Chains A and B, each alone.
Chain A
Amino acid sequence: MSETISATNAKLEIARSPHVHSHWSTKQAMWLVIIALIPSVISSLLFFGISQLLIILVSVSFAVATETIIKTIRKQPISISDGSVIITGILLALILPPNFSLVSTAIGAVVAVGIGKEVFGGLGFNIFNPALVGRAFLQAAFPVNITTWTKPSFTDAVSSATPLSLMKFDNKFESLNSLFIGNTGGSLGETSAIAILIGAIFLLATGVINYRVPLAMILSAVIFGGIFWLINPLHFPNPLFHLLAGGFLFGAIFMATDWVTSPLYSRGMWIYGIAISLVVILIRLFGGLPEGVMYSILLLNGFVPLINKYTKPHIFGEEK
């Protein structure tokens, strides 16, 4: 946004409101996010084997290709270098199960960029997080493949259940230690909490993401999860399990904080984060699916315009 209203431009361009000023330009921020994703990429390769690199490469290259083709057809400037489409590709790959079919990954990447982003007009206009749109499409298109999880192993693939489905269907709880390090079943990038936290610290320190949404999500997950845990500790997992299992942390840091699809104002960010956590906990404990981070973020993405409308701060002196 700061680019479009810079004074160095010969032509004076007026950007649409809101004129939020940030320390980083869009391009710089996007590359910082890519750097923050590196620990998660490394952890996915460590736990699920080097062959997972193929999924990431296929996802990124199809995302970039889709963007290039659509921008060429619509005769718009090609904007690969701003990095947003590369992020979409990496994010999509990291929320897919290990050893996922490469053809389906490519379909998911095309849908994520084509339907999730370009249909709305490109970066800045999309209502829903593109990577999650791609994941949701794949979930609906290939429901069997996308829930086939392989155990982290260096030799051969053994199919296993994720900690969340163990919790849901067998009432067994995985140890928090392996959830923290990432040595457990799950999507590529979401199993290792420690890798995500390294990326999170980097993003918070550089000021690319705001602390409010992740903090609101984590605090409210602890509170909502804690209430159910106190009611029945044998049947419901403890709140820490909710934080570390599944895609919660990954979603809180990399998905829910997306600049385009999250609320603009502080109050709205708190509401957004709390609502996401509430939906996640409800889906996990009472819904039909073991995991609900994807659907809850997509659902709340749809509410963002409404949240923005009602949390807009009043200008000093403005009459109510």
Chain B
Amino acid sequence: MKNISLIKEYSKGVWKNNPVFIQVLGMCPTLAVTVSAINGIAMALATTFVLLFSSIIISSIRKIIPAQVRIAAYILIIATFVTIVDLVMKAQFPELSKALGPYIPLIVVNCLILGRQEAFSSKNGVLRSALDALGMGTGFLIALFSLGGIREILGNRTILGLQIMPDFFEPWLIMILPAGAFLTLGLLMAYLNSLAIKTKKKEKALLVSKFIIAKNKFKIEAEI
């Protein structure tokens, strides 16, 4: 476990273990709030904040949390940070807070956060936990931004509030309805999976060719 480099600890959440596309965690905020790119970014940043700080706290006190009540303890710590985010957003960005509605308080029960605490922070040191949390947050941000961006472009002609599609393009209303979220997520996942399968095949072919070369070398050496 400990022989993974620190950079990999961060980067695995961005791509290989992307919380949305690969682990399929946190579907509730992913599908519900991504009607626009800005909503996606705000949601992802709020989640990353909560994830980072609860990971730091939980990994630093992981040895004194009794195993029997660990989930309750995690939830308590997570809820503290969610309350902070909720209050700050209400005070500083009231419009965004209104747009995200109940989904900010619902970060408490986001399985992405609880899952990382249970699977990672409770077993690893503070630095690694913080890097893992940041990586997962980045992956979440990428996923939510791409979903929100695609839905906003097709459903509203704009991205981040700027109109980029011409006026004659008729907005696809379905994209800002829940059905659009499912369609976009499904198609994105299918595309990324096909990419992953392709790279795996390439790696396999590379390994096989290396093996054959090594075998031939061995044969030649043996003959000599």
Residue of A104, A140, A142, A143 ringed by the most chain B CB atoms within 10 A: A140
Q: Which of B172, B173, B179, B190 contacts A119 (CB 8 A)?
A: B190
CA distance A104 to B177 in the complex (A): 18
A140-B170 in contact (CB<8A): no
What chain A residues lie within 8 Å of B207 (beta carbons)?
none
- What is the minimal beta-carbon distance from A132 to any residue of chain B, in angstroms? 15
- Are B183 and A141 in touch, CB under 8 angstroms? no
A74 (CB) vs chain B CBs: closest residue: B194
A141-B175 in contact given A103-B170, A104-B170, A115-B183 (Cβ < 8 Å): yes
Q: Is the interface of B mostly helix, strand, loop or mixed?
A: helix
- Provide the residues of chain A in CB contact with B76, threshold 8 Å: none
Q: Are B177 and A142 in contact (CB under 8 A)?
A: no
Give how many B residues have a beta carbon under 8 Å from the other chain's beta carbons. 10
Bound Cα distance from A137 to B174, whole angstroms = 7
Q: Is the CB of A140 within 8 A of B177?
A: yes
Whether A171 sits at the interface, judged by CB under 8 Å, is no
Task: List A contacts of B173 (CB < 8 A).
Answer: 140-143
Which residue, of B172, B177, B183, B187, has the highest number of chain A Cβ atoms within 10 A? B172
Minimum CB–CB distance from B186 to chain A (whole Å) comes to 8
Q: Separation in Å of the B95 CB from the closest CB of chain A?
A: 27
A153 within 8 A of B: no
- A107–B179 Cα distance when bound, in Å, is 16
Which B residues lie within 8 Å of A119 (CB)? 190
| A contact residues around B172 at 8 Å (CB) | 107, 141-142
A101 close to chain B: CB less than 8 A = yes
Q: Which residue of B lies closest to A144 (CB)?
A: B173
A140 touching B179 by the CB < 8 A rule?
yes
Q: Which of B170, B177, B183, B187 has the most CB of A within 10 A?
A: B170
Give A100-133 as 1s and 0s: 1 = Cβ < 8 Å from B's Cβ atoms: 0101100100000001000100000000000000
Q: Which chain B positions have C-beta within 8 A of A143?
A: 173
User: B174 to chain A: which residues have CB within 8 Å?
Assistant: 137, 140-141
Min CB distance, B11 to chain A, in Å?
Answer: 29
Cα(A318)–Cα(B179), bound, Å:
44
> When the two chains form their complex, are residues A101 and B170 in contact, meaning their CB atoms are under 8 A apart?
yes
Whole-angstrom distance from the CB of B169 to the nearest CB of chain A?
A: 9
Q: Separation in Å of the B121 CB from the closest CB of chain A?
A: 38
Query: In the bound complex, what is the Cα–Cα distance between A143 and B179 (angstroms)?
Result: 14
Q: Which residue of A lies closest to B183 (CB)?
A: A115
Q: From residue 83 to 137 of chain B, which have CB atoms closer than 8 A to chain A? A: none
Nearest chain-B residue to A145 (Cβ)? B170
Q: How far, in whole Å, are A129 and B170 apart by their CA atoms in the complex?
A: 26
Report Cα–Cα, A16/B132, bound state, in Å.
46
Inter-chain contacts of B179 with A (CB < 8 A): 140
Q: What residues of chain B lie closer than 8 Å to A103, measured between beta carbons?
A: 170
> Which residues in A have their C-beta under 8 angstroms from that of B190?
119
**Nearest CB in chain A to that of B154: its residue:** A141
Residues of B within 8 Å of A145, CB to CB, are 170
Report the nearest B residue to A119, measured CB to CB. B190
* Candidate in B173, B177, B187 with the most chain A CB atoms within 10 angstroms: B173
Most B CB contacts (10 A, CB to CB) among A115, A141, A145 go to A141
CA gap between A101 and B168 in the complex, in Å: 12
B117 to chain A, nearest CB (A): 36
Closest Cβ–Cβ distance, residue B192 to chain A (whole Å): 15
* Docked CA distance A228–B173 (Å): 35
B113 nearest CB across to chain A (Å):
32
Could you mark each residue 192-207 of chain B with 1 if its beta carbon is under 8 Å from any beta carbon of chain A, else 0? 0000000000000000
A137 cross-chain contacts in B, Cβ below 8 A: 174
Nearest chain A CB to B83 CB, angstrom units: 37
Contact with A along B157-192 (1 / 0, CB 8 A): 000000000000010111101010001000100100
8 A-B interface contacts by CB (under 8 A): A107-B172, A115-B187, A137-B174, A140-B173, A140-B174, A140-B177, A141-B175, A145-B170
Report A's interface with B, CB cutoff 8 A.
Answer: 101, 103-104, 107, 115, 119, 137, 140-143, 145
Given contacts A103-B170, A140-B179, 9 further A-B contacts (CB under 8 A): A104-B170, A107-B172, A115-B183, A119-B190, A137-B174, A140-B174, A140-B177, A143-B173, A145-B170
Chain B residues within 8 Å of A, Cβ to Cβ: 170, 172-175, 177, 179, 183, 187, 190
